[in-house]
Amino acid sequence: MITRRDFSMGSLAGAAALGSSSLQSAFSADTPTQSSLVIDAMGEVREVYTDSLCREMIDSGINSITVTLCDPKSFEAEAYAWAIDGVLAYDKLIDQEPNYWMKATRVADIQTARDQGRIALFYLFQNSTQFGKELDNIDVFYGLGVRSSQITYNFQNWAGAGCNETNGSGLTIFGQQLVEKMNDVGMLIDLSHANMRTMADTIEASSAPVIISHSCCKALNDHNRNTTDENIRAVADKGGLFGVTQMRPFMTLQVDNAVHYYYQHIEHAINVAGIEHVCIGSDRDHRRLKLNEEYLAELKAEEGANFVREEWPLYFEELNGPRRMETIWEGLAKRGMKTSDLEKLFGLNLHRLYTEVIG
Q: Are strands 39-43 and 6-7 parallel, antiparallel or unpaired?
A: unpaired
d(CA 223, CA 200): 18
The residue ranking higher by pLDDT, 204 or 21, is 204
d(CA 5, CA 7): 6
**In this structure, is residue 249 part of a structural domain?**
yes
CA distances to 21, 248, 328 from 334, in Å: 20, 21, 10
**In this structure, is residue 235 part of a structural domain?**
yes
Check residue 61 and give its pLDDT.
97
CB-based contact 13:107 (threshold 8 Å): yes
**In this structure, is residue 192 part of a structural domain?**
yes
| pLDDT surpasses 70 at 21 | no
| Residue 3: pLDDT band with limits 50, 70, 90 | very low
Q: How many domains does the chain have?
A: 1
CA distances to 25, 26, 104, 346 from 8, in Å: 10, 7, 21, 21
Question: Residues 10-19: what's their mean pLDDT?
Answer: 33
Check residue 26 and give its pLDDT.
33
d(CA 240, CA 189): 10
| pLDDT surpasses 80 at 28 | no
**In this structure, is residue 1 part of a structural domain?**
no
| Selection from 34, 44, 104, 117 nearest residue 355 by Cα | 104
Chain segment 239-255, per-residue pLDDT in tens: 999 999 999 999 999 99
d(CA 53, CA 63): 15
- Angle, alpha carbons 339-342-346 (nearest 5°): 140
Polymer length of the chain: 359
Q: Are strands 146-150 and 39-43 parallel, antiparallel or unpaired?
A: unpaired
**In this structure, is residue 100 part of a structural domain?**
yes
Rg, Å, the chain Cα set: 19
CB-based contact 58:112 (threshold 8 Å): no
Q: To which H or E segment does residue 297 belong?
A: helix 293-303
**In this structure, is residue 335 part of a structural domain?**
yes
- The parent domain of residue 101 ranges over 6-357
CB-based contact 118:100 (threshold 8 Å): yes
| pLDDT surpasses 50 at 146 | yes
Beta strands in 69-227 (DSSP E): 101-103, 119-125, 146-150, 188-190, 211-215
**In this structure, is residue 245 part of a structural domain?**
yes
Check residue 11 and give its pLDDT.
32
**In this structure, is residue 244 part of a structural domain?**
yes
Fill in the amino acid letter for 331: G
| Selection from 86, 51, 84, 50 nearest residue 68 by Cα | 86
What pTM does this model have?
Answer: 0.90
Chain segment 211-269, per-residue pLDDT in tens: 999 999 999 999 999 999 999 999 999 999 999 999 999 999 999 999 999 999 999 99
Instruction: Give the domain CATH number at 309.
Output: 3.20.20.140
CB-based contact 116:141 (threshold 8 Å): no
CB-based contact 230:271 (threshold 8 Å): no
CB-based contact 231:200 (threshold 8 Å): yes
